[in-house]
Structure 1
């Protein structure tokens, strides 16, 4: 078994020897290559196995983040730079590995598949590693580099499809972890995959990806899934149409020659030039594709057929995933404003949607719009996912354990020195606000005026997630009991968590299920 001295000197993985850092009773290995750099002719191809190296590779600092221009306001990076050469992962492992191998968390960052990086301080794995978990964060290709599908690429692929390089990168990282994580004290049979937003969508995608099954034993999804907005999967034909349109626009924008294939020419254009051109064209979103390799059918069909990994799942949403102003942008919303907005959004189902909400006071209007905005953005997808997993029996006839939450704690105000006003007007827990609490990284985020109750909430929430990673059950002594989702309830995560009925929400989510996936 590994000991602290062995880990602090070298670790031998499939490709060669690594030397990490020993910091505060932890071993850290940053910038570990899990695949070849996807540059040149490897742009828009599945990830290739990392080549072996000679000698000892020093992995003390974070490597490049993947190509991106869009930066969300609360993102902070510790990466070396921005480059297509970005397929690296980072590992935090405790000082001493016990006789029994440690559980592993492999985490995929959020950012709408167009931003993010495994070096972000809010995803730092040190706090969880100190609790006896080997933590891995993974970089993966984004935007056009990760999701472009095109007939020419499909003709070259050998499997008749294209796109989804984002997910194939993640899959390659999972394969690397399964082969090598025991060298870092981890148990390859106890790997939990987790993620927030785009990372959560990724987790739900891997659950229906044939080649991902068997690479993980449990799953965590924070806000969203591939079964709902904002980024549902599309057919290969639709992805081809979108890809052709994008490539043609780039071809014209960049005034490329017409005597050679568009894809081959674009492979020769610098990544920076491509991103600049896309920004000027107003193109920033790309979809998951039914590519015939990563996924074989639309995810909703796969979940309905029971063709998903039968593993324990912990998933949930935040209470303010989106603000009411995304529907009616007024400080004072009248009942007439509210009704007209619903009529505009759902002209055929106007009365049905209005009946979902009980409006008796002025504030009820904002509450209803906030709930609706959150559902339309990302909350419905999270429910559709956990409901599909919960209510479809596995091959053995036993359902996997599922745990559903709503995170309610309102993050404190932003510091004036960090562009804030010292006050906030949030009506709930905003999208992504739970990440620092789950990872125990409040002190890694200097933007907010953290209060003692924030640290208490972090302790409570992290406790549930820690136990789920270790035992695939969030329950333990000293905290409110969290039953499985089969009872149609969810855990309200806050300073004093409590289990509440989900009944008031069922009708609304069933409406969205019929709305997005009408029966034939």
Structure 2
């Protein structure tokens, strides 16, 4: 049982956790602890192993700096960020608490960052939890393994090591958060993009049961892999290095070199489009694997079967999810009819998706059709279907859509993917997503951020974000704009197009596929 160390007035905050005593700092009235190990470094003999409990340390461990990022892909310079950080303590947590002492009983919000399961670290400025903590919650962020280190499927290593890291972090929270003023019985896990996909996976992961009471999933990334697809992609990554896809072969490879191999395969994933299907077209080489053990089923199947019935769920998406991704891909404003047709064919729900989309959106040109089907497939419909599966099983779900068009980047990106992150954290002037807000946050952004923080923290405290729960009849959702309002789900045409679609684990689509015994793809 964790207990807080005595904290004389004027001294830096100190807390005793499972590994020993840690001393943090104070920032704007909040006690902050950074870089606390929650598991042993997954290197050497522990490379590609499930996370192991951290060993203790003697004396007082400084907890004022973030732990080093796990090995990263090269997107947005994340590989350089990881390379510049010293040490191999990749698996660390950070805590912000307005009242660090046992007995405070504050709600706890545990953040899982996104990054397409290929990049991501908790030490980015956009994830600073200080502003959110000042609203009366304990905020926790942490690192987990990504890319091949976390999600490559190969012989001699458990599947979904990144997900197992997340579970280990939540176990650390359960055992230690009381010492920081948090209530281990009121833990809310929240995440965005791949972080929201992780939240969805945790809802159905048996080992995560009981570790959190509530869940917030912001723009759920809907990609989950079958073992065959994941193994085939890992095999291609190993072949890039001239090695076999085994833990024995890959464990001696420098982590940065292994991450670079994953990048190389992602960059030329289109070569495998006839084998990897949509994952190759969207260049998504890593996702959670429905392996029958750590994940017995996709989140939608698990929730429909009642796995998350006792967990309150808050889930939603932005209106123009993939507009930012189109800009990064260099096609925003330049989508051709051929590109739109290909997207409808690859991502749409069923062989007649192109015809059905054109009938549902008769005035839409190639640009809008491309954006609609990409957004629906990757984020919007996976998010909505998660709520519908929860409601169908008798659970509670609240749904929102962020419709506020951000003024940054010339106002061309609308309510795009990632806009919710600075708004929820209140970090409107720092970090990469903050560029969407524009120079000097305007009153609209400040007001919307305050409303979102109030809703998220109220949900963490008591399960009610301030608008009605979603049900299949009324389909009431909160529209987050300059004037938030409760209305029927606004993307009705898309909802109807995807109504009968099942988000199954993505298969290996090449010929001569041999399924593993006992594997499930739902």
Q: Which has the higher contact order (CA 8 A, sep 6+)?
A: 2
Deviation of the 1:250 alpha carbon: 2.3
- RMSD across aligned C-alpha pairs, in angstroms? 3.4
Deviation of the 1:13 alpha carbon: 1.0
CA contact under 8 A between 1:4 and 1:95: conserved in structure 2? no
Q: 2:351 — aligned with what?
A: 348
Alignment size in residue pairs: 477
Deviation of the 1:385 alpha carbon: 1.1
Instruction: Spell out the pairing of 1:83-482 with structure 2 (5 A cutoff).
Output: 84-95=88-99, 100-153=104-157, 162-225=158-221, 228=222, 231-235=223-227, 237-251=228-242, 262-282=246-266, 285-308=285-308, 310-323=310-323, 329=331, 331=333, 342=344, 348-350=351-353, 352-354=355-357, 356-360=359-363, 366-392=367-393, 399-414=394-409, 423-426=410-413, 428-445=414-431, 447=435, 448-449=438-439, 450-475=441-466, 482=467
Q: Distance in 1 between matches of 2:118 and 2:176?
A: 29
Are 2:30 and 1:43 aligned? no
Are 2:477 and 1:490 aligned? yes
Deviations 1:411-460 (A, max 9, x none): 2224xxxxxxxx2322x211011111111111324643222211111112
Q: Distance in 1 between matches of 2:113 and 2:418?
A: 10
Deviations 1:357-393 (A, max 9, x none): 2324xx666444422221122212111111111111x
Deviation of the 1:247 alpha carbon: 2.5
Deviation of the 1:78 alpha carbon: 11
Deviation of the 1:285 alpha carbon: 1.8
Q: Distance in 2 between matches of 1:433 and 1:332?
A: 23
Q: 1:21 — aligned with what?
A: 25
Q: Distance in 2 between matches of 1:429 and 1:76?
A: 30
Deviation of the 1:45 alpha carbon: 0.5
Q: Distance in 1 between matches of 2:460 and 2:170?
A: 16
Q: Distance in 2 between matches of 1:29 and 1:166?
A: 23
Aligned in 2, Cα 1:367/1:516: closer, same or farther, shift over 3 Å? farther
Other structure's SS at 2:498 match: helix
Deviation of the 1:201 alpha carbon: 0.4
Q: Distance in 2 between matches of 1:316 and 1:211?
A: 25
Other structure's SS at 1:443 match: coil
Other structure's SS at 1:57 match: strand
Deviation of the 1:277 alpha carbon: 3.5
Q: Distance in 1 between matches of 2:182 and 2:307?
A: 28
CA contact under 8 A between 1:195 and 1:203: conserved in structure 2? yes
Other structure's SS at 1:485 match: coil
Other structure's SS at 2:317 match: strand
CA contact under 8 A between 1:316 and 1:405: conserved in structure 2? yes
Q: 1:478 — aligned with what?
A: none
Deviation of the 1:339 alpha carbon: 6.6
Other structure's SS at 1:377 match: helix
- TM-score, normalising length from structure 1? 0.82
Q: 1:501 — aligned with what?
A: 488
Aligned in 2, Cα 1:244/1:355: closer, same or farther, shift over 3 Å? closer
CA contact under 8 A between 1:75 and 1:120: conserved in structure 2? no
Q: Distance in 1 between matches of 2:307 and 2:498?
A: 22
Deviations 1:93-152 (A, max 9, x none): 004659540000010001111111111111111011111100000100010000121133
Q: 1:418 — aligned with what?
A: none
Q: Distance in 2 between matches of 1:99 and 1:263?
A: 45
Other structure's SS at 1:289 match: coil
* Most deviating of 279-288 and 167-176: 279-288
Q: Distance in 2 between matches of 1:103 and 1:452?
A: 28
Q: Distance in 2 between matches of 1:440 and 1:32?
A: 24
CA contact under 8 A between 2:114 and 2:194: conserved in structure 1? yes
Other structure's SS at 2:140 match: strand
Deviation of the 1:72 alpha carbon: 3.5
CA contact under 8 A between 1:65 and 1:83: conserved in structure 2? no
Q: Distance in 2 between matches of 1:345 and 1:262?
A: 32
Q: 2:59 — aligned with what?
A: 55
Aligned in 2, Cα 1:424/1:471: closer, same or farther, shift over 3 Å? same
Aligned in 2, Cα 1:511/1:137: closer, same or farther, shift over 3 Å? same
Q: Distance in 1 between matches of 2:295 and 2:338?
A: 45
Q: Distance in 2 between matches of 1:78 and 1:271?
A: 10
CA contact under 8 A between 1:78 and 1:120: conserved in structure 2? no
Aligned in 2, Cα 1:337/1:440: closer, same or farther, shift over 3 Å? closer
Deviation of the 1:409 alpha carbon: 1.2
Q: Distance in 2 between matches of 1:333 and 1:115?
A: 27
Structure 1: which 5+ residue stretches go unaligned?
154-161, 253-257, 393-398, 415-422, 476-481
Q: Distance in 2 between matches of 1:46 and 1:485?
A: 37
CA contact under 8 A between 1:213 and 1:309: conserved in structure 2? no
